[in-house]
Structure 1
Amino acid sequence: MDNPASAAILTGMRDESDLLIVGGGLNGPALALAAAQAGLSSTVIDALPAETALANEFDGRSYALALASQRMLARLELWDELADHAQPMLEIKVTDGRAGEGAAFLGLHFDHAEIEEGPMGYMVEDRYLRRALWQSVDRCETIRHLPGCRVTAQEARPGGVTVTLEDGAQLHGRLLVGADGRQSGTAARAGIRRTGWRYGQTALVCAISHEKPHHGIAHQFFMPSGPLAILPLPGNRSSIVWSETDDAAQRINALSDADYLDVLRPRFGDFLGEISLAGDRFTYPLSLSLANSFIGDKLALVGDAAHGVHPIAGQGLNAGLRDVAALAHVLTHARQRGEDFAQPDVLARYQLWRRFDTATLAGATDIFNRLFSNDNPLLRAGRDLGMKAVQAVPALRRGFMREAAGLTGDLPELMRG
């Protein structure tokens, strides 16, 4: 993963790619691989150093991949490498209550056996997913990875786009894609504003080891301060995404590991036996953030650069991968028809496809968080009755499961299995 940017300046060579992708998290390399399958070349400009992409230590970060996302990774020829490290989510149990008091009742129980397609999703650690993506990128002759590089300027021009790196190197392409997160410099430089707000909540994220097996069951426990997600990992381990008010989260995160666990235990319960930390602890302030446009002049945004939602439904990465699959679908079909895929009418198809879906997801997660993150007795009664009603109607349960699995709506080709 050498960085050839400075060499490009010294030799005076023009650096041309079909796609210039800014952002080396997960969506950036996924898009480069999807574009490669369509015969398009990419340069991925990654602010992170090369060693970060291939780090093998478990740091506690994991992702809930919906079934549609798993299908996409299989189509990108990544799943064989990931399957041994993936934990199927066979059931989801949703409860409502207060810390230390246990659940009010079993509000919802989703069992994958009720849908034909299989597990609703899989839990995969960040280290395995990131490594699989970048190793595949390294093997692909039509993708260049520029680690440790930052973009300082971008300019749409007739026939393409040019970006300038910190060291003065200029790269040229036909389409610029921002995959550079909620604080997207790509979007900002294009003058694209964002709409959103803070929730006054912070997510405490970690992984734990526990005595008893989880049997592939994911738990979502709604408390007045915010939801607690317990997501199964391979072995007797689970990923924790635990939302608290900003002030409470700051106090909890400042505690020692032992005291941190003492605060977690009454929220977590004892159904998995004794617990201990596995890996590092993280905090993420929670907010809603939507780009006012997903496209610009020879520009498209994907993932958190386009939308950031509350993690209450675990759909952040899945929504980003769906962006990637949709953009790849639009670009591929435009190319097959002989169209210039960077033209406004082509990019408008991508925006039309994804903007409504992501706005709907953002609205749904916002409403769910506001409905459940409180202790209003009337709202508690209403939401518990609502969950009980869904539980009583098999067709509604299956609809929720298919939605969680990413199987509803107009699926891009990469997600169709």
Structure 2
Amino acid sequence: MSFDVIVVGGGPVGLAFARSLAGKGLRLALVERQPLTALAEPASDGREIALTRRSKRILDELGAWRHLEPADIAPLRAARVLNGDSSFALAFDPAATGDDRLGHLVSNHRIRAALFRTVEDQPGLDLMTGVGVASIRHDSSSVAVRLTDGREIEARLLVAADSRFSRIRDQLGIPAAMNPLGRSMMVARMAHDKDHRGIATEWFGHGQTIAMLPLNGRLSSAVLTLSAAEMSRIATLDTPVLGEEITRRFGRLLGSMRLVGGLHIYPLTTSYARHFVARRAALIGDAAVGMHPVTAHGFNLGLVGQETLARLIASAQAKRSDIASPNLLRDYERAHRLATRPLYTATNLLVRLYTEEGRAARLLRHATLRVGARLPLVRRTVTSLLMQN
């Protein structure tokens, strides 16, 4: 079977990319290991996505935003950063811009379901679910993909959107800098006594990082990062005891907390591909850049990257040019590297600074927050990044 583009990976970025190419006169195949039901009705994975205004705009243009229920969308009105036992907080508030929010919080599985609804009947798109990629063979004019069920499909371009542990990236021979952090992240939906007022809090404590992402009502998504060994202990706690543990770890800032959703634990590994393209192939989403969740920009960067690649492909198709030419792929790589490398590097430096436990590191990060608070330009720059269209 012949296609113009084969997309491997039916996560939100892969689905968004397929939708971005709708109506461009291209025949697409989307290959996903999970069954169709897992795409149509994805299970909750506990993750809440902080969407920038730009990401909201992209989802709106793709037709996904209208498939979200109002109850699924929580306003992110402001953010603050705390360090250790200090009462000082570095705040990011959009009030000076005339807006009432930094962005929106939406559950990852709701975004996936909404994006699936945009592509499930998309003309020119073949959904190949419940099947993986066994091998890849490419030359100067096409890419041939053998699926695990024995079928072989070919296309002019192959796009990998299959996670930061991408098998497609490996099969293309693209190395990646993988950085296992030796830490795990727990996400859990918590009810609490006090009103969060729509403010997200990131608290770098001694031996832990804990964030509270404000959901609708008196609910928050707790995001706790600990050593893998300590997280193993947390995972064994009974539900009432876990609520008490999170209440204590968050300093009772929201009062007493109770677990109201499932508990999910993820080992933390960041990644950055040495190249985002190969011959007749490109990487998008986490296959290209796997961000640390501390800045909540992984999914946002993935949406931007797929939009960039889709725009270049659509332009080439309209001109009847090669949609996988070396120049086109280099243009995508250059643009996406400029969009991701500075933030990826800064995030890794931030994580290193705020996870070291020596006295010097604790003093340095407190001083860093103080300096940031005294420099309005810094706060405005970060706020503008979150609110960019």
Question: TM-score, length-normalised on structure 2?
Answer: 0.94
Following superposition, the deviation at residue 222 of structure 1 comes to: 0.6
Q: Mean alpha-carbon deviation: is it higher for 86-95 or for 386-395?
A: 386-395
Aligned to 1:100: none
**Conservation of the 8 A alpha-carbon contact between 2:184 and 2:231:** yes
Give a deviation string over 1:376-410, Cα, whole Å, max 9, x none: 333322322222222233332111111233x2xxx
Q: Mean alpha-carbon deviation: is it higher for 191-200 or for 68-77?
A: 191-200
**Conservation of the 8 A alpha-carbon contact between 1:95 and 1:107:** yes
The equivalences for 1:184-263 within 5 A come to 184-263=166-245
Which secondary structure state, in structure 2, belongs to the residue aligned with residue 320 of structure 1? Answer: helix
Read off the aligned partner of 1:53 and give its amino acid letter. L
CA distance in 2, matches of 1:38, 1:389: 49
Alignment of 1:88 onto 2:75 = yes
CA distance in 2, matches of 1:59, 1:312: 17
Following superposition, the deviation at residue 234 of structure 1 comes to: 2.0
Following superposition, the deviation at residue 299 of structure 1 comes to: 0.3
The equivalences for 1:271-350 within 5 A come to 271-350=253-332
Read off the aligned partner of 1:280 and give its amino acid letter. G
CA distance in 2, matches of 1:161, 1:58: 34
**1:60–1:209: structure 2 CA closer, same or farther, 3 Å change rule?**
farther
Read off the aligned partner of 1:81 and give its amino acid letter. H
Following superposition, the deviation at residue 58 of structure 1 comes to: 4.7
Read off the aligned partner of 2:80 and give its amino acid letter. K
Aligned to 1:128: 110
The equivalences for 1:125-164 within 5 A come to 125-164=107-146
**Conservation of the 8 A alpha-carbon contact between 2:272 and 2:288:** yes
The equivalent position to 1:53 in structure 2, one of 39, 44, 47, is: 39
CA distance in 2, matches of 1:193, 1:91: 38
Aligned to 2:22: 36
Question: TM-score, length-normalised on structure 1?
Answer: 0.88
CA distance in 2, matches of 1:62, 1:107: 23
Aligned to 1:16: 2
CA distance in 1, matches of 2:196, 2:307: 32
**Conservation of the 8 A alpha-carbon contact between 1:78 and 1:132:** yes
**1:332–1:57: structure 2 CA closer, same or farther, 3 Å change rule?**
closer
CA distance in 1, matches of 2:101, 2:2: 42
**Conservation of the 8 A alpha-carbon contact between 2:246 and 2:257:** no
Following superposition, the deviation at residue 338 of structure 1 comes to: 3.1
Following superposition, the deviation at residue 76 of structure 1 comes to: 0.8
Aligned to 1:387: 369
Aligned to 2:50: 64
**Conservation of the 8 A alpha-carbon contact between 1:65 and 1:123:** yes
**Conservation of the 8 A alpha-carbon contact between 2:67 and 2:117:** no
Read off the aligned partner of 1:343 and give its amino acid letter. S
Read off the aligned partner of 1:339 and give its amino acid letter. S
Which secondary structure state, in structure 2, belongs to the residue aligned with residue 195 of structure 1? Answer: strand
Give a deviation string over 1:91-146, Cα, whole Å, max 9, x none: 1011011xxxxx41233111121225652221101232111111111131122212
- Contiguous gaps of at least 5 residues in structure 1: 1-14, 98-102, 408-415
Read off the aligned partner of 1:146 and give its amino acid letter. M
CA distance in 1, matches of 2:175, 2:240: 43
- Contiguous gaps of at least 5 residues in structure 2: none
Aligned to 1:79: 65
Give a deviation string over 1:58-116, Cα, whole Å, max 9, x none: 5533211122111110111221222612111111011011xxxxx41233111121225
Read off the aligned partner of 2:78 and give its amino acid letter. E
**1:231–1:153: structure 2 CA closer, same or farther, 3 Å change rule?**
same
Alignment of 1:104 onto 2:90 = no
Read off the aligned partner of 2:285 and give its amino acid letter. G
Alignment of 1:363 onto 2:350 = no
CA distance in 1, matches of 2:58, 2:104: 13
Following superposition, the deviation at residue 243 of structure 1 comes to: 0.6
CA distance in 2, matches of 1:40, 1:73: 21
CA distance in 2, matches of 1:211, 1:170: 56
CA distance in 2, matches of 1:385, 1:300: 41
Aligned to 1:173: 155
CA distance in 2, matches of 1:403, 1:224: 28
Read off the aligned partner of 2:215 and give its amino acid letter. L
Read off the aligned partner of 1:22 and give its amino acid letter. V
**Conservation of the 8 A alpha-carbon contact between 1:19 and 1:42:** yes
Which secondary structure state, in structure 2, belongs to the residue aligned with residue 404 of structure 1? Answer: helix
Read off the aligned partner of 1:49 and give its amino acid letter. P
Please give the root-mean-square deviation of Cα atoms over the aligned residues, in Å. 1.8
Q: Mean alpha-carbon deviation: is it higher for 87-96 or for 371-380?
A: 371-380
Read off the aligned partner of 1:243 and give its amino acid letter. T
Read off the aligned partner of 1:18 and give its amino acid letter. D
Identity %: 31
Read off the aligned partner of 2:40 and give its amino acid letter. L
**1:74–1:16: structure 2 CA closer, same or farther, 3 Å change rule?**
same
